[in-house]
Structure 1
Amino acid sequence: MLATMKKSRPINLKLSTINFPIPAISSILHRISGVIILFVFGIFLWFLDLSLSSLEEFQYITSIFNSFYFKFISWLIFTILIYHIINGIRHILMDFSCLSETLKTSTFSTYIVFSMTIILSILAGVFIW
């Protein structure tokens, strides 16, 4: 009997046609930023290991850190870290019921997270350069 039943629910496999609400996009970006931070942390530990191995390696790592490209990449990493921390605080506040979990509150708090990320990202850029 189960084999003859056919479910007629719609199947949409084109992700570009799905309109996610802004809190969903924020949550997805929070997960992606966490994965990026995990990999970057490993790379920075490798840089630390290299810089502590010898004086030549330390000078090499110092020259890499002073380049424009590395400063730009550092700024991107700081921006990702800032976003992840601020959005993590937002998620914690929602978990402890300090923020309601309605779509209106989530949308408003997401815009606050994006705004704070932009402001602190600009400050990080000033600090790096």
Structure 2
Amino acid sequence: MQKQRPKHLDLGKIRLPVPGIVSILHRVSGVALFFSLPLLMYLFAGTLSSAQDFDTFRAIIAYPLMKLVLIGFLWAYLHHFCAGIRFLFLDVHKGLELETARATAKLVLIVSLVLTAILGFLLW
């Protein structure tokens, strides 16, 4: 007997568990961090080369849109860091039970968002 399988997956209707969401966000944040490296290196180089370049750097980051972009990069870093620690524990077979895996995934989301909010508020 053939199984009835959907011909077209509706990704909006598929409910992904929290550990799956954390895993996907870990990958997305890693890609975002990788592609943001040239911008971040340019900004960091501008802070160190001369006083005039430092003033240019301060003018660039004074724009609210740029601040939001940098806060987005901050979230990407914090989420990638927290999820990476979670995955290191999973690699050594700690926290593999279903309830523990769900709890640590929720903790990663909460911690990364709270730290982003706190640091973003302090840096704004």
Give the TM-score taking structure 2 as reference length: 0.82
- Quick one: distance in 2 between partners of 1:75 and 1:102? 33
The change in CA–CA distance for 1:121 and 1:48 in structure 2 (over 3 A counts) is: closer
2:23 to 8, 21, 27: 27
2:111 to 102, 109, 116: 116
Quick one: which amino acid aligns to residue 91 of structure 1? F
Matched, 1:85 2:52: no
Q: What is the aligned partner in structure 2 of residue 3 from structure 1? A: none
Per-residue CA deviation, residues 48-70 of structure 1 (Å, 9 max, x unaligned), is 45666776554333210222222
RMSD of aligned alpha carbons: 2.4
What are structure 1's unaligned runs of at least 5 residues? 1-5
Give the TM-score taking structure 1 as reference length: 0.79
Q: Which moved more, 1:82-91 or 1:61-70?
A: 61-70
Count residues in correspondence: 123
2:35 to 31, 36, 39: 39
Quick one: which amino acid aligns to residue 34 of structure 1? G
Q: Which has the higher contact order (CA 8 A, sep 6+)?
A: 2
Quick one: which amino acid aligns to residue 61 of structure 1? F
Secondary structure, counterpart of 2:12 in structure 1: helix
Bigger Rg, structure 1 or 2: 1
Q: What is the aligned partner in structure 2 of residue 73 from structure 1? A: 69
Secondary structure, counterpart of 2:93 in structure 1: coil
What are structure 2's unaligned runs of at least 5 residues? none
Offset of residue 47 of structure 1: 3.4
- Quick one: distance in 2 between partners of 1:24 and 1:55? 46
Q: What is the aligned partner in structure 2 of residue 126 from structure 1? A: 121
Q: What is the aligned partner in structure 2 of residue 10 from structure 1? A: 5
Q: Which moved more, 1:25-34 or 1:71-80?
A: 71-80
Identity of aligned residues (%): 26
- Quick one: distance in 2 between partners of 1:46 and 1:9? 54
Offset of residue 78 of structure 1: 0.6
